[in-house]
Amino acid sequence: MAMKNATGPRARGATRTNGHKKKSTAKAPRFNQALSPDPTSQSGLGRDSLYLQMLNCSDDAFMLLQSQRDNDELVDLVLLEANTSALNLLKRDADDAVGQTVSLLPHALFGPILNCAQWLTPQAPQQNTSVLHERTYLKISLHQLDADCVCVILRNAHKPAVGEQLQEKLARFLEAAPDAVVVADLEGRYLHANAAACELLGYSREEILHKQFSDIIPDIQRRTLLQAKKQMADGAQLTSEWSIQRSDGRVITVEVSGKILKDGHWLGFVRDITRRKNNERELRLAAAVFDNTREAIVVTDAERNVLAVNGAFTTLTGYSEREAKGHILCEYLYRSGKHDEEFYQTLWQRVDADGHWRGEVWSRRKDGEVFPSWQNISAVSDDNGNINHYVLILSDISEKKAAEMKLSYLAHHDALTGLANRIAFNGNLERAIHHAERNSSKVALLYIDLDNFKIVNDTHGHLAGDQLLQITADRLRRCVRGEDAVARMGGDEFTIVLENISSFEDAIGVAEKVIHTMDLPVRLASGEVEVGLSIGISLFPDHAQSLNDVTRTADAAMYAAKKYARNSYQIFNPEQT
């Protein structure tokens, strides 16, 4: 039996100097005594032999060590007993090893053991360490049996230590990997799945191990699966995209890198690329919209240097992408001459402050033509709120502006004569009155009515009457200055607003000129006719102080002229109302 009692002087350790201070040792219990529940009983002695035999049969190395201390400081350990596995590990026989102090045993194991023993205390009676010994990874456990006796157990994993470490690290790495890692047999049955795979598929590990590829891959892809299996059987490593179904029924897109290992197992790394694929689709859609939209789009950097333009921009402005890229935006769009620098500064200040701006801006094409555009400008910011891009969308609104101008013209002008209508007349007279108030000047209103118009209309017909109204409007225009406003109020009534006059004489002069002009024969398609005019004159602020009063007093004066003497004028006086 390999277990041996250290009975010699060295085992007792009573006196041993060898140049050191005298060390105190206490008699240690026998190995079998330390392990026996009752070493004094007769039945316990029988069990001692069984314990010794059991220890010698163990693959683990057991050693019993006695502490040597100097002033309560551990300085060495004496080997009291060792089982067969321990002696084989030490490559010594019992007589040569038992009784020796570990510091004298030329073996690399005792250094880590002695260092670990320093930490044994009644409060921490067990310590663990490990050591690489002859390419074998040994785990060492130290147990404090009493004040001076230590039991050491060395467990041999019987695997190369470096390989075991790598294997353990690899296992931890695969389990903690952010991508799903699965192992399956060649029939597609899952043998292993890491935590990320469980999360990706929505199954527990136990549930996954009861499934196979066909359970999560749609039927339409099974033929592709067979082709991939054949390719990998030839040694190829494949990376491809697949659609798989989660436990909740949701179908996701994954990228799988797979390979058949030498042991015949299939190893796959699976990454969820659903978001990436959705982003790619959105980018393709955005690119299609960018390229095919009818509105011009410009993308700039934070300094407003052009980064990209679409085809519609080239069509609208005449500048190609090559001509525009790298240049400041204002070189192409903001030089129409219709806006001052303050307008553009305010525009970009609003964009930077609010994140967007939209409105009408006059722009210039490559050929120099100026056109009205509707622009929608947005600022694009990064995660920190800093603007890094601008996106400008613009469209030519020339047709829209022309239509608006036409509608505005029709809303404010008489369709037959082209003169201002009653709505425009009110606006013109109101502006003239405000101007006169600010400048302490006068405004005269001439209210005109054609004499005998009904006779012409009834005798020559409505077309002749319309022609007469058009000729009258043309003659009235030639009687006034460019700043004066002529309007048709309806029927055969007209008005003239005279601004910046100083006296009655100015208004009377215009009235006489109008009467003289209309004295001339009027040639109509149906024949020549003669008509006269009745004119009423009212002055602001002499006769009235408001728009309605000026109109009312001029109208009253016109009726007085028609009543007392046709083809003449009358200046308003209160008796006419």
> What is the SS3 assignment for 268?
strand
What pLDDT digit, counting tens, does each position of 114-151 carry?
Answer: 878 888 888 889 988 777 677 677 888 999 988 889 99
pLDDT computed for residue 166 by the predictor: 61
pLDDT computed for residue 466 by the predictor: 94
* Contact present, 251 and 244 (Cβ < 8 Å): yes
Question: Which two three-digit tokens encode residue 376?
Answer: 């929608």
The sign of the dihedral angle between the CA atoms of 55, 57, 60, 65 is positive
Measured distance CA(570)–CA(550) in Å, rounded: 14
pLDDT over 50 at 482, yes or no: yes
CATH number of 412-571: 3.30.70.270
pLDDT computed for residue 565 by the predictor: 75
380 sits in the region (left: phi over 0; alpha: psi -120 to 50; else beta) called beta
Comparing C-alpha atoms, which of 457, 422, 453 is closest to residue 548?
Answer: 422
CATH 3.30.450.20 location in the chain: 51-156, 164-277, 295-400
Position 27 confidence tier, pLDDT thresholds 50, 70, 90: very low
> CB neighbours of 375 closer than 8 A, spacing ≥ 6?
357, 358, 359, 360, 361, 392, 393, 394
Determine whether domain 51-156 maps to CATH 3.40.640.10. Answer: no
pLDDT over 70 at 12, yes or no: no
* Contact present, 22 and 71 (Cβ < 8 Å): no
pLDDT computed for residue 7 by the predictor: 37
CATH of 164-277, one of 3.40.50.720, 3.40.50.300, 3.20.20.110, 3.30.450.20: 3.30.450.20
| C-alpha triplet 416, 417, 423: angle, nearest 5° | 90
Question: Which two three-digit tokens encode residue 87?
Answer: 């002696």
What pLDDT digit, counting tens, does each position of 201-232 carry?
Answer: 999 988 988 888 888 887 777 778 777 777 77
> What is the SS3 assignment for 4?
coil
pLDDT computed for residue 428 by the predictor: 95
CATH 3.30.70.270 location in the chain: 412-571
pTM, 2 dp: 0.49
pLDDT over 60 at 379, yes or no: yes
- The single-letter DSSP state of residue 420 is B
Fold of 295-400: Beta-Lactamase (3.30.450)
pLDDT computed for residue 108 by the predictor: 65
| Residue % of the chain over a pLDDT of 70 | 87
> CB neighbours of 247 closer than 8 A, spacing ≥ 6?
201, 202, 203, 207
